[in-house]
Amino acid sequence: MDPSPLPDPHVQLRGVRLAFGRRRVFDGLDCDFERGSICVLLGGSGSGKSTLLRLVGGLLAPDAGRIAVAGQEVVGSSWRELREIRNKLGMMFQGGALLDSLSVYQNLALPLRERLRMREPEIAARIQLQLAAVGLEGTESLLPRQLSGGMIKRAALARALISEPEILLCDEPFSGLDPLTVHRIEALLLEVNESLGMTLVLSSHHIPSTLRMADRLLLLMDGGAVAGTPQELLHHGDARIREFLDEDAAPAGAHASRRSHS
Amino acid sequence: MARLLQRLGLRCLGIVEQLGRIALFALSLSRAVLSPPARPGRVVQEVFDVGVLSLVIVCISGAAVGMVLGLQGYNTLIRFGAEESLGAVVGLSLIRELGPVLTGLLVTGRAGSAMAAEIATMVATEQLDGLRMMSVDPVHLVAMPKAVAMVVAMPLLSALFIVCAIFGGYVAGVEILGVDSGTYFSSLESSVDFRDDVAGSLLKALVFGVVVGLIATYRGYTSEPTSAGVSASTTATVVVSSVTILVFDYFITALWGV
* Residue A88 · residue A167 · CB < 8 Å: yes
Q: In this structure, is residue B30 part of a structural domain?
A: no
* Cβ contacts of A187 within 8 Å, gap of 6 or more: none
In chain B, what are the helix, strand and coil shares in percent, each to the nearest 5?
90, 0, 10
Q: In this structure, is residue B202 part of a structural domain?
A: yes
* Cβ contacts of B238 within 8 Å, gap of 6 or more: B108, B109, B112, B113
A165 preceded by a cis bond (ω within 30 of 0): no
Nearest-angstrom CA–CA distance, B163 and B172: 14
Report phi then psi at A225, rounded to 5. -150, 150
* Residue A93 · residue A157 · CB < 8 Å: no
Q: What is the DSSP letter of B37?
A: P
In percent, the amount of chain B with pLDDT more than 70 equals 100
Chain A neighbors of B130, CB-CB under 8 A = 91, 93, 97-99
Q: In this structure, is residue B5 part of a structural domain?
A: no
* Residue B126 · residue A97 · CB < 8 Å: yes
pLDDT on residue A259 = 52
pLDDT digits 0-9 by tens, B118-146:
999 999 999 999 999 999 999 999 999 99
* Residue B201 · residue B98 · CB < 8 Å: no
A91 and B133 within 8 Å at the Cβ level: the answer is yes
Q: In this structure, is residue B190 part of a structural domain?
A: yes
Which amino acid type is present at position A36?
G
Nearest-angstrom CA–CA distance, A6 and A30: 12
Chain B neighbors of A100, CB-CB under 8 A = 122, 125, 127
Chain B interface mutation, best of A51, A59, A89, A107, highest count of B Cβ atoms under 10 Å: A59
In percent, the amount of chain B with pLDDT more than 90 equals 82
| Half-sphere exposure of residue A231: CA atoms within 13 angstroms, side-chain side | 7
pLDDT on residue A176 = 80
Chain A neighbors of B132, CB-CB under 8 A = 57-59, 86
Q: In this structure, is residue B54 part of a structural domain?
A: yes
Q: What dihedral angle (degrees, nearest 10) is formed by the CA atoms of A18, B125, B38, B236?
A: -90
Q: What ipTM does the predicted assembly reach?
A: 0.85
Taking CA A155 as the corner, what is the angle to CA A151 and CA A160, rounded to the nearest 5 degrees? 145
Distance between A227 CA and the closest CA of chain B, angstroms: 26
pLDDT on residue A250 = 46
Q: In this structure, is residue B20 part of a structural domain?
A: no
pLDDT digits 0-9 by tens, B192-243:
888 889 999 999 999 999 999 999 999 999 999 999 999 999 999 999 999 9
Query: How many of the other CB atoms lie within 10 Å of CB of A119?
Result: 9
> No. of H helices and E strands in chain B?
12, 0
pLDDT digits 0-9 by tens, B171-201:
999 999 888 999 999 999 999 888 889 999 9
Q: Which of B126, B135, B141 sits opposite A115 (nearest CB)?
A: B135
CATH domain A1-35+46-88+209-262 topology: Rossmann fold (3.40.50)
pLDDT on residue B255 = 85
pLDDT on residue A166 = 93
Chain B interface mutation, best of A94, A99, A101, A157, highest count of B Cβ atoms under 10 Å: A99
pLDDT on residue A249 = 45
Question: What residues does each domain of chain A span?
Answer: 1-35+46-88+209-262
Which helix (H) or strand (E) element contains residue B115? helix B113-124
Query: How many of the other CB atoms lie within 10 Å of CB of A122?
Result: 11
Nearest-angstrom CA–CA distance, A67 and A167: 14
Q: In this structure, is residue B29 part of a structural domain?
A: no
Helix (H, G, I), strand (E, B) or coil at B176: helix
pLDDT on residue A248 = 46
Which stretches in chain A have pLDDT values below 70? 1-7, 247-262
Report phi then psi at A196, rounded to 5. -105, -5
pLDDT on residue A1 = 44
Nearest-angstrom CA–CA distance, A184 and A10: 26
Distance between A259 CA and the closest CA of chain B, angstroms: 31
Residues of A engaging B, defined by a Cβ cutoff of 8 Å: 54, 57-59, 79, 83, 86-87, 89-91, 93-95, 97-100, 110-111, 114-115, 159, 163
* Residue B115 · residue B217 · CB < 8 Å: yes
Domain encompassing residue B62: 40-256
- Total of domains in chain B: 1
